[in-house]
Amino acid sequence: MSHRWTIDYIEDYLFIKEIYEALYEINPAFGMKEILEYEKEHPETKAINAKYNGVNWYRNYLGDLKTIKAEQTKVV
């Protein structure tokens, strides 16, 4: 697990924010290829949330998670 493109921690937000600010204006339809290229050129960006690579927030809550039935959800 060498990359983390999710938002569970403030560092994840800061990473995504920097990527977005760097790439969106150049190409609003940027994708994985552009993100990977940007990370290669700016390793300090990848380091922003690297300490969480392979970490999932729910790991600490496995005992609390449960499956619910469809009727327990709100339909909008």
Using one digit for the tens of pLDDT, what is the confidence trace for 3-42? Answer: 888 888 999 999 999 999 999 999 999 999 999 999 999 9
The owner of tokens 């005992």 is 63
Are 49 and 6 in contact by the 8 Å Cβ rule? The answer is no
User: 73 falls in which pLDDT band (50, 70, 90)?
Assistant: confident
Structure tokens belonging to residue 52 = 């969480």
User: 58 falls in which pLDDT band (50, 70, 90)?
Assistant: confident
pLDDT surpassing 80 at residue 56? no
* Residue, of 62 and 29, whose pLDDT is higher: 29
Mean pLDDT computed over 59-65: 78
